[in-house]
Amino acid sequence: MRYLLSLMVVFFFDFSSHAKRLGPKPVKPVLNAGLRYEVVVWAFENKKMKQNGGYVRVLNARNDLPICTKQVYETKYDKMLESDIQDNFITGLKIEGHNLVVSSEKLAPLQMSIENFCDEVKPDPIKSF
């Protein structure tokens, strides 16, 4: 019995030491001029995303229709390390004047103009059947 208990403890600690990183804490969206800016955390939410973290989605605040999704920074991954420990998630959004300020885990805060935030982003075409 003691042997079985010891074996269970060893397996528990062995597996927990290889656990994947937990996801980031939720970031509160910000509203400005009828638009909602929100964080997109996981790349599986959009097939065109190249990384976890670093994306902001803009939606019409009245009807929740998406306007654009923009990559605000790029994460360079080292193929020799696990990708989950290299992810850099957005930790905060705020509006300051005419700028969206994006804070992340590993970079200095980034400021981007909200006046042309979606201009250089090509929205996904709407397919009609």
| Element at 46 (helix H, strand E) | none
Amino acid at 101: V
- Per the structure, the complete domain to which residue 48 belongs is given by 25-76+87-123
34-54 pLDDT, tens digit per residue, is: 999 999 999 877 778 889 999
19 in a structural domain:
no
9 in a structural domain:
no
Say what the pLDDT of residue 47 is.
76
12 in a structural domain:
no
Nearest to 114 by CA among 50, 56, 47, 49: 56
2 in a structural domain:
no
| Element at 5 (helix H, strand E) | helix 2-16
Q: Residue 51 is part of a domain; what is its CATH number?
A: 2.40.128.630
58-84 pLDDT, tens digit per residue, is: 999 999 999 999 999 999 999 999 988
- The residue count of the chain comes to 129
15-36 pLDDT, tens digit per residue, is: 444 447 788 999 999 999 999 9
3 in a structural domain:
no
Please state the domain count of the chain: 1
pTM recorded for the entire structure: 0.76
